[in-house]
Structure 1
Amino acid sequence: MTPTNRRTALRLLAAGAFTTGCAATGAVAHPASTSTHAKPTHAPTPRHYPGLPAQLTHGPRTHPRVALTFHGQGDPAIAHSLLTEAERHGAHVTVLAVGTWLDAHPDLARRILDGGHDLGNHTQRHLDINAMSEADALAEITACADRLRRLTGSIGTWFRPSRAPRASPQVTRLAARAGYPHVLSYDVDSLDYTRPGAAAVTRQVLGEVRAGSVVSLHFGYPDTVAALPAVLEALDRRGLSAVTTTELFS
């Protein structure tokens, strides 16, 4: 090797070592975490379901499946606990992530996908999107979509409006413009965000859930973590499988 080639090789090796060091430094300290500088895990993209409305509240009532959907925000430790508990029961869930939450905890995008769960868009700042101007509402949707794409290679599989159970016609139209053919609503509200206690969350979900239901739950509330095992065990006794929303509509 000539001196010139040797110097070039050394510079390339040094650059590679520096890149590896940046990735290691940027990783979040959690056993399930991977560096946000690593190659993205490519997530599925939104799907169009012909014959179904632009706004979906539940899946087919003819199959013994339900979708547990979580608003992605709050303490990341609780998020990890909920995902681990779901996986322990063989369940898969759908997480609609808030963009600012992904900014603060980017490793969770990979954690969700690596667990076999759906990951979607719940706007950038979790404001009342139905009350916004067209430009501001579109910016909320696309800003979160951009973060999802950067972290996973996809804008996510679903969009859910923030601060409202259903999207206005304007928001539904803007979501389609951003690449989401359907807005994901729900037919069962766990009311876990009211902090009623784990037993009340369990009763609320089990009192309303049935085949095809889409259940609204939240990361960030200890009551939800405590309620999840009882909810999953009861669903199993009823012969209802907890699947991703994509699986529910497939």
Structure 2
Amino acid sequence: MPIDRRGALRAGAATALAGALATACGTPPRPAPPQGPAPAPAAAPAPRRYPGSPEEIAHGPRDRPRVALTFHGQGDPALARAALGHLERAGAHVTVLAVGEWLDRHPEMARRILDGGHDLGNHTQHHIDVNTMTEARAYEEIQGCATRLRRLTGSIGTWFRPSRTQHAAEPVRRAAHRAGYPHVLSYDVDSLDFTSPGPAAVVANVTGPLRAGSVVSLHFGYADTVAALPALLADLHRRGLRAVTTTELLS
């Protein structure tokens, strides 16, 4: 399309005149509105069904040198960014199960996680004990977080993990399936980092029981976790294990 240079010059002159008049009257000129479309939401893949896998998945194949580090997404976003920085410098990709309330307060974290090549999933809206709820209430918690994920990413996220429990009760599994998640994501290695046991204990809690195919539970929001990551990642490298997303672990 040809550029209307005279129109552009007239528009620029009008803007300058308006600014000069406003300054003369003691009123600062209003900034020009931003140009161009608003940034598009980060794009996230949808959940997948893995034929042959159980409804609740606790680990992946044991015959490949891969593990999945999974992080419960909440807490200080500065600690989350620090953890992601350690992981990405080591070439690790992980799975983040985000709490809906956390995304409400820090919506930019959805893009940060996806832009780093990580999985992003659902860890309920309010992070309360989902196994104590009725099926209808559990569905509201799962769907509440799914709605936020869809608004921010165009998808309900790749995985659902129940809050405050390692294993989902049957009503929670039914609610998750109704919300669009074919599988519930559990884990077989618990770092216990949420107890703040110190970085060395976090490393020991993971590396002791870890083996090929393991799914590890970790948390954003804890300084011990961030401090433990370099040693944990170094141990994986020494053992020839690669940290991948849960999607890659099962693919």
TM-score range, shorter chain: 0.7 to 0.9
Q: Kindly provide the CA deviation profile for residues 140-183 of structure 1, in whole angstroms up to 9, marking residues without a partner as x.
A: 00010000000001100000000101110010111011010000
1:40-189, aligned counterparts within 5 Å? 40-189=41-190
Q: Kindly provide the CA deviation profile for residues 174-196 of structure 1, in whole angstroms up to 9, marking residues without a partner as x.
A: 10110100000000000000110
1:190-229, aligned counterparts within 5 Å? 190-229=191-230
Q: 1:135 to 1:207 in 2, by over 3 A?
A: same
Amino acid at match of 1:159: F
Question: C-alpha separation between the residues in 1 aligned to 2:230 and 2:94?
Answer: 14
CA shift for structure 1 position 38: 1.9
SS in 1 for 2:97: strand
**TM-score, normalising length: structure 2:** 0.86
Structure 1, unaligned runs of 5 or more: 1-5, 24-36
Q: Kindly provide the CA deviation profile for residues 112-148 of structure 1, in whole angstroms up to 9, marking residues without a partner as x.
A: 0000000000000001111011221100000100000
Question: C-alpha separation between the residues in 1 aligned to 2:146 and 2:67?
Answer: 25
1:210-249, aligned counterparts within 5 Å? 210-249=211-250
Amino acid at match of 2:119: D
CA shift for structure 1 position 18: 3.8
Question: C-alpha separation between the residues in 1 aligned to 2:33 and 2:61?
Answer: 51
SS in 2 for 1:231: helix
Q: 1:154 to 1:211 in 2, by over 3 A?
A: same
Amino acid at match of 2:135: E
Q: 1:20 to 1:143 in 2, by over 3 A?
A: farther
Same amino acid, percent of matched pairs: 69
Amino acid at match of 1:73: Q
CA shift for structure 1 position 20: 5.2
Name 1:34's counterpart in structure 2: none
Question: C-alpha separation between the residues in 1 aligned to 2:242 and 2:124?
Answer: 28
Q: Kindly provide the CA deviation profile for residues 64-97 of structure 1, in whole angstroms up to 9, marking residues without a partner as x.
A: 0000000001000000000010000000010000
SS in 2 for 1:199: helix
Q: 1:20 to 1:196 in 2, by over 3 A?
A: farther
Name 2:22's counterpart in structure 1: none
Question: C-alpha separation between the residues in 2 aligned to 1:241 and 1:70?
Answer: 16
Q: 1:242 to 1:18 in 2, by over 3 A?
A: same
Question: C-alpha separation between the residues in 2 aligned to 1:238 and 1:179?
Answer: 36
Question: C-alpha separation between the residues in 2 aligned to 1:152 and 1:213?
Answer: 27
**TM-score, normalising length: structure 1:** 0.86
Runs of 4+ with >2 A deviation: 17-21
Question: C-alpha separation between the residues in 1 aligned to 2:108 and 2:233?
Answer: 26
Structure 2, unaligned runs of 5 or more: 1-6, 16-31
Amino acid at match of 2:201: A
CA shift for structure 1 position 51: 1.1
Amino acid at match of 1:242: A
Paired residues in the alignment total 223
Question: C-alpha separation between the residues in 2 aligned to 1:195 and 1:76?
Answer: 18
SS in 2 for 1:78: helix
CA shift for structure 1 position 19: 5.9
Question: C-alpha separation between the residues in 2 aligned to 1:206 and 1:214?
Answer: 12
